[in-house]
C-alpha cells in the first residue's frame, strides 16, 4: 500500500536543482509533492511522481543519484489539528517519524501528507485501524 | 669547510663515501642484496665517479622496508625518530644516531649563519614541532650556534607577534606561507616593519614564489633565505641560500648531490636540469645512497661571491612524481586512494583540488558516490563526510575537505586520469 517516493542527491550549487527539474520537465514528469532536506553543501530532493521508475531512470541517465523508497501517505482534512491527530496515533504506538511533507495542492478540501517512519507496515496498519484514510499514488495526482 | 678548495672537498667526499658504502653493505641486507644484484662491491668505489655504479634508493624501497628495515644502526644507538608521509597509508620512518643529530644541527647552523645569525641572536622558530622535521631541525641548528631559541611552533599568530616584539626576535624560521600570514597580521595590527627586530628569515618546506618573497621581505623588513631538505636525507639544512640569493649551498661534506636524467637515470653535468639525487656521507642511523628525491633542479659549480666554494642547487622547479606539498606536508594521491578504497559507498573516481586562500594552502577531495547507492537521508551524507574526512586526516596529517558528487559527474579521461588540480600560482 505504501507510496513510492523518489529521493535524489543534489550538490548545492547554483543551477543544479534546475538541471534536475529540467530533466523531469523534458520527460513530462509531474511533481505531485516535493520537499528538500539540505545542509550547506548538499540537498536531497524527495518527491512523489506518478511513475517513480521512469523518473529514476531518466535522472540516473543524466548522472543524478536517484532511488526509490516507501513512505506512508494519508489523507487528512484541511483543518487545524488534522496533522496532529495522525502524528499522535504514531507517537502513541512508539513509531518514529523522520520527516513529513505534504502535497502541493489540496483537492476537495483534503490534503495529503507523506511521512517517513521507522516502520512503514506497522504505521499503516495502526493508522488504518484508527480510521485514517491512506492514500494511493493515484490519490496524490 | 664551506670555503675548502675543491680538491680537499672531493678527497673528503670520497673517503666518506667509501666508508658509507662499506657500512651500508655490512649493516643493511636489503641494500647489500641490491648491490650484489648490480654486481658492485664496496671496494669497487675508487673514485667519486664510481658512485654511478651504485643502485638507487627510492621511496618505494623505504615503503617495502617499513618501518625500520633500512636502519643500519642498532635501535639502542637510535636516539630520535622523525617521519614524513609515504606513498601509501604508511609513513616513512627515519632514525638518527647521536652523531646524525649533531650533523643535522651543524648543517642547519651553517644555514642560519648564512642568514647572519650569531650566538647573541634570538631565533624565532615557527615551524611545526613534532614528527615533521621543520621545527626540531631549525631548533637544533639554532642551539648549535648557541642562539636564544624560542620554540614557538605554528599557529596563534597574535602571540607570535607579541613574542617577536617583546623578545626582540632576530631571525624567523617557518614556512614561506606562514611568514606571509605573519607579515599580513603585522600590517593589520598597525606595526611597522622597522618596529620589529627581525633581520632575516629562513624559509622552506614548500614551493614559494618571487612575489611571496617580495611581500615577506617588505612586510617584515627582513632578508629572506631559502632552506632545502627532506626527512629521508636528514631534514631541513641540506642546502641553504646565502646573502647572494643565487642558489642554495649544499652541505656537500655531509650530503653528496647528483643530477640525473629521470628517464635514463644517467648523470647530467652541472647546469643541466634533472632529478636531484642525494647520498648521505656521514649518516649512520639510516644512510641513504643515491636517494632519488624526485625534485627537479640543477646544480651550480664555482666559487660564490660570498666566499663559499660548495656547490649550489637551484630552486626546485617541480617533481618527477605526483607528490604534492600542502601546508609543508607531503601528500600523495595514492594515500588518498587508499582511504577512498576503504569506503564501499565511494568510487575511485576522484579529484584532488589544491588551492591557496589567504596565504594558506587548502586541499579538497571531490569523490563520486557509488552507483546505485540509496541516499534518502541527509544524516547519511553528513556522517559519510565526517568519516571520510576523519580517515583522510589520519593518513595525511592535515585537514582535507570532502565533497561528494553524483556518480558519473567527473569527466572520464582516456589513459592516465588527471587526479590533481593545483590552482596555486608559482610563477
Rounded CA-CA distance B133/A78 in Å is: 69
For chain A, list the domains and their CATH numbers: 3-68 (3.30.2130.10), 71-140 (3.30.2130.10)
- ipTM confidence score: 0.71
Read off the pTM.
Answer: 0.74
Mean pLDDT computed over B88-115 = 94
pLDDT confidence band for B417 (50 / 70 / 90): low
pLDDT value, residue B143: 97
Average pLDDT value for chain B: 92
pLDDT in tens, B267-295: 999 999 999 999 999 999 999 999 999 99
Q: What is the CA radius of gyration of chain A?
A: 16
- Which phi and psi angles does B229 have, rounded to 5°? 175, 165
Rounded CA-CA distance B54/B61 in Å is: 15
Rounded CA-CA distance B249/B301 in Å is: 10
CA distances from B44 to B21, B22, B33, B36, B210 (A): 10, 10, 16, 12, 45
Nearest CA in chain A to B402: A41
Which residue among B376, B382, B404 sits closest to A69, beta carbon to beta carbon?
B376
pLDDT in tens, B338-391: 889 889 899 888 899 999 888 788 999 999 888 878 888 888 899 999 999 999
Helix B133-145 × helix B98-114 angle, to 10°:
80
Among A10-14, A54-58, B134-138, B406-410, name the one with the lowest average pLDDT. Answer: B406-410
Among B364, B372, B376, B381, which would you mutate to test the A interface (most chain A Cβ atoms within 10 Å of its Cβ)? B376
Q: CA of A105, closest CA in chain B: separation in Å? A: 23
Residue numbers in B near A9 (CB within 8 A) = 369, 375, 381, 404, 406
pLDDT value, residue B327: 85
| Secondary element (H or E) of residue B34 | helix B29-38
- Interchain proximity B406–A116, CB inside 8 Å: no
Residue numbers in A near B378 (CB within 8 A) = 37-39, 42-44
Pair A89, A82: CB distance under 8 Å: no
At residue B423, the 3 state secondary structure works out as coil
* CB contact A7 to B (< 8 Å): yes
B48 DSSP assignment: G
Query: Which three cell numbers, joined as nine digits, stand for B162?
Result: 607579541
> Whose CA is closest to A95, among A77, A115, A76, A114?
A115
Pair B260, B266: CB distance under 8 Å: yes
- Interchain proximity A9–B409, CB inside 8 Å: no
pLDDT value, residue B209: 78
3-state SS, one letter per residue, for B88-131: CCCCEEEEEEHHHHHHHHHHHHHHHHHCCCCCCCEEEECCCCCC
**B43 half-sphere exposure, CB direction, 13 A CA radius:** 0
Q: Which of the pair, B212 or B66, is modelled with greater confidence?
A: B66
pLDDT in tens, A44-94: 999 999 999 999 999 988 888 899 999 999 988 878 898 899 999 999 999
Q: How far apart are the first and last CA of chain A?
A: 16
**pLDDT beyond 90 at B240:** yes
**pLDDT beyond 60 at B415:** no
**pLDDT beyond 70 at B426:** no
Residue numbers in B near A64 (CB within 8 A) = 406
Amino acid at each position: 500500500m505504501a507510496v513510492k517516493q523518489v529521493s535524489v542527491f543534489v550538490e548545492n550549487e547554483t543551477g543544479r536543482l534546475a538541471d534536475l527539474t529540467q530533466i523531469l520537465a523534458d520527460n513530462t514528469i509531474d511533481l505531485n509533492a516535493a520537499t528538500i532536506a539540505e545542509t550547506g553543501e548538499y540537498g536531497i530532493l524527495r518527491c512523489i511522481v506518478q511513475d517513480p521508475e521512469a523518473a529514476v531512470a531518466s535522472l540516473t541517465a543524466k548522472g543524478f543519484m536517484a532511488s526509490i523508497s516507501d513512505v506512508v501517505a494519508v489523507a487528512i482534512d484541511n483543518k487545524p489539528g488534522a496533522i496532529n491527530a495522525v502524528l499522535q496515533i504514531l507517537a502513541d504506538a512508539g513509531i518514529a517519524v523522520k520527516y513529513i511533507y505534504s502535497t502541493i495542492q489540496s483537492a476537495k478540501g483534503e490534503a495529503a501528507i507523506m511521512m517517513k517512519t521507522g516502520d512503514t507496515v506497522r504505521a499503516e496498519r495502526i493508522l488504518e485501524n484508527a480510521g485514517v484514510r491512506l492514500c494511493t499514488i493515484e490519490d496524490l495526482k | 669547510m664551506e670555503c675548502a678548495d675543491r680538491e680537499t672537498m672531493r678527497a673528503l667526499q670520497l673517503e666518506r663515501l667509501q666508508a658509507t658504502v662499506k657500512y651500508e653493505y655490512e649493516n643493511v641486507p636489503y641494500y647489500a642484496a641490491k648491490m650484489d644484484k648490480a654486481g658492485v662491491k664496496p671496494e669497487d668505489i675508487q673514485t667519486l665517479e664510481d658512485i654511478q655504479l651504485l643502485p638507487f634508493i627510492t621511496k618505494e624501497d623505504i615503503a617495502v622496508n617499513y618501518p625500520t628495515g633500512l636502519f643500519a644502526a642498532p635501535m639502542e644507538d637510535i636516539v630520535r625518530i622523525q617521519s614524513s608521509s609515504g606513498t601509501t597509508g604508511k609513513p616513512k620512518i627515519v632514525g638518527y644516531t647521536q652523531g646524525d643529530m649533531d650533523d643535522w644541527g651543524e648543517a642547519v647552523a651553517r644555514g642560519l649563519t648564512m642568514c647572519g645569525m650569531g650566538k647573541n641572536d634570538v631565533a624565532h622558530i615557527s615551524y611545526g614541532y613534532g614528527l615533521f622535521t621543520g621545527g626540531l631541525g631549525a631548533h637544533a641548528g639554532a642551539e648549535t650556534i648557541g642562539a636564544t631559541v624560542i620554540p614557538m611552533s605554528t599557529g596563534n599568530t597574535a602571540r607570535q607577534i607579541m613574542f617577536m616584539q617583546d623578545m626582540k626576535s632576530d631571525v624567523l624560521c617557518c614556512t614561506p606561507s606562514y611568514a606571509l600570514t605573519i607579515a599580513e597580521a603585522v600590517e593589520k595590527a598597525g606595526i611597522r616593519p622597522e618596529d620589529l627586530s627581525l633581520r632575516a628569515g629562513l624559509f622552506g618546506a614548500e614551493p614559494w614564489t618571487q612575489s611571496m618573497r617580495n611581500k615577506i621581505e617588505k612586510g617584515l623588513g627582513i632578508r629572506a633565505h631559502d632552506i632545502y631538505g627532506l626527512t629521508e636525507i636528514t631534514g631541513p639544512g641540506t642546502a641553504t641560500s646565502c646573502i647572494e640569493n643565487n642558489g642554495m649551498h649544499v652541505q656537500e661534506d655531509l650530503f653528496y648531490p647528483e643530477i640525473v636524467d629521470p628517464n635514463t637515470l644517467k648523470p647530467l653535468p652541472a647546469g643541466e636540469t634533472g632529478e636531484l639525487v642525494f647520498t648521505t656521507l656521514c649518516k649512520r642511523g639510516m644512510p641513504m645512497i643515491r636517494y632519488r628525491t624526485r625534485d627537479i633542479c640543477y646544480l651550480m659549480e664555482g666559487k660564490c661571491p660570498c666566499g663559499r666554494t660548495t656547490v649550489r642547487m637551484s630552486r626546485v622547479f617541480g617533481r618527477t612524481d605526483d607528490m604534492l606539498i600542502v601546508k609543508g606536508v607531503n601528500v600523495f594521491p595514492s594515500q588518498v586512494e587508499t582511504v577512498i578504497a576503504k569506503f564501499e559507498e565511494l568510487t575511485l573516481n576522484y579529484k584532488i583540488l589544491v588551492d591557496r586562500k589567504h596565504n594558506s594552502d587548502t586541499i579538497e577531495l571531490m569523490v563520486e558516490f557509488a552507483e546505485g547507492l540509496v541516499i534518502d537521508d541527509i544524516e547519511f551524507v553528513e556522517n559519510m563526510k565526517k568519516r571520510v574526512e576523519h580517515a583522510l586526516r589520519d593518513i595525511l596529517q592535515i585537514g582535507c575537505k570532502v565533497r561528494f558528487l553524483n556518480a558519473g559527474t567527473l569527466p572520464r579521461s582516456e589513459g592516465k586520469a588527471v587526479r590533481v588540480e593545483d590552482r596555486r600560482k608559482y610563477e
